[in-house]
Homo-oligomer: A and B are copies of this chain.
Amino acid sequence: MSLPETYLQMISTVSTDGELQMRLAAKKMPTPGPDEVLVRIEATPINPSDQGVMFGWSSMDKATSTGTGADTILKAPVSKHGMQVMKARVGQDLSIGNEGSGTVVAVGENAQGLMGKLVGLMGGEMYAQYRLVKAAMCLPLGPDHTAKDGAACFVNPLTASSMVEAMQLEGHTALVHTAAASNLGQMLNRICQADGVQLVNIVRSEAQEKLLRDMGAQYVVDSSKDSFMADLTDAVHETGATLAFDATGGGRLASDILSAMEAAAARTPGAYSIYGSVKHKQVYLYGGLDTSETILTRGYGMAWGVGGWLLPNFLARVGQEAADRMRARVVQELTTTFANDYSDEISLADALQSEVVARYNAKKTGAKFLINPQLPM
């Protein structure tokens, strides 16, 4: 099979004069070195972690697109505060796409066994028609899997698995999760049910609550109800959860969770001292669906922490053995525990059309976009 001489790759750049620009750049088709393989990317999801790199702190409500097909260009202004926060990336062409899957179309001499195989990939630059990688980075998928099955076999599966791993590592026995009806949240429910871990799901509507109840979730609390704090405290008390993962990041939700944990501890004789409950209570902010400031009321004693949480940092902390164990489970349970649903499949050019951006950037439950770089543009 002969390959084209160039391929297209999505690029995001913040200019010194305060503008975000995204485009498709033509790159020379590479030839694999001895230990490398060339993968034709056939499916790559748009995750919140990708959107952070794509748009950063730009004013996306003012984004506009020009051109069509390979010539599509997306532009958005960046505020003074946005420029300050993104200082370190100004002027740099950033490639995007944390994970994807596709077919191996060229191999180096030490990687011939992978020729023609369908593989999952992680490591950036996946929003492109092709990607050259070390053979060791490929996760070969099963014979019945499709590229769509394997497109998101790293970020969400390993993030959800890592939440349970972190719970055990840091001495907690149950979990709280926000934005719990998301793809990731549903996956976490399947893992926790399989592993017998109690999980308190925080959702924002009755429809989301029903979705999780229908899949067997025992603890679901709706933050849109007046009884939210009482419901959350009851659920935290019943499960004994002292660790939470919050996808929203902003506002008072992290603080409310700590308050509920403190109120739950106060119901347990001996769990309380004059400086508050004794057991460490932790909320990790792993996303930023709400970009407003995080407000902490601090009415929960002294044994608490709030912090950022990023998958690569956690994987580095737990080491290769734990990462390999989690990865093997993902392939084993790819179309069950770790299955993903996609609402839309789009081309690279579609992903730069401002009206399409507005849809996937709304980050609504149920709206999950997949890019297929092989779709005609």
Contacts and interface: CB of A to CB of B under 8 A. Distances in A.
Interface of A: 49, 52-53, 57, 84-85, 87-89, 94, 249-250, 263, 266, 272, 274-276, 278, 280, 282, 285-286, 288, 293-299, 301-310, 313
B304 A85 contact: no
B310 A275 contact: yes
Contacts of A293: 295-298
Nearest to A316: B278
A308 B304 contact: yes
B302 A308 contact: yes
A interface: dominant SS: mixed
A307 B286 CA distance: 16
B302 A313 contact: yes
Contact of A307 (B57, B272, B297, B304): B304
A147 B313 CA distance: 50
A305 B303 contact: no
B313 A309 contact: no
A85 B288 CA distance: 28
Contacts of A87: 263, 266
Contacts of A298: 249-250, 285, 288, 293-294, 308
A274 B307 contact: no
**Copies of this chain:** 2
A307 B266 CA distance: 20
B272 A88 contact: yes
Contact of A299 (B84, B275, B306, B307): B84
A123 to B, nearest CB: 13
A313 B301 CA distance: 12
Q: Which of A53, A293, A302, A310 has the most CB of B within 10 A?
A: A302
A52 B52 CA distance: 41
A307 B305 contact: yes
A313 B305 contact: no
Contacts of A57: 299
A26 to B, nearest CB: 23
Nearest to A301: B308
Nearest to A275: B310
Contact of A303 (B52, B84, B304, B308): B308
A293 B89 CA distance: 32
A308 to B, nearest CB: 4
A182 to B, nearest CB: 18
Given A293-B297, A299-B84, A274 B94 contact: yes
Contact of A310 (B249, B288, B299, B303): B303
A156 to B, nearest CB: 17
A266 B87 CA distance: 8
5 contacts: A298-B308, A303-B308, A305-B307, A305-B308, A307-B307
Given A87-B266, A303-B308, A52 B275 contact: yes
Contacts of A304: 307-308
A67 B150 CA distance: 77
A221 to B, nearest CB: 19
A285 B297 CA distance: 13
A278 B301 CA distance: 29
A65 to B, nearest CB: 23
| Pairs of residues from A and B, 5 with the lowest C-beta to C-beta distance, nearest first | A305-B307, A302-B308, A302-B310, A294-B296, A85-B299
Contacts of A49: 275
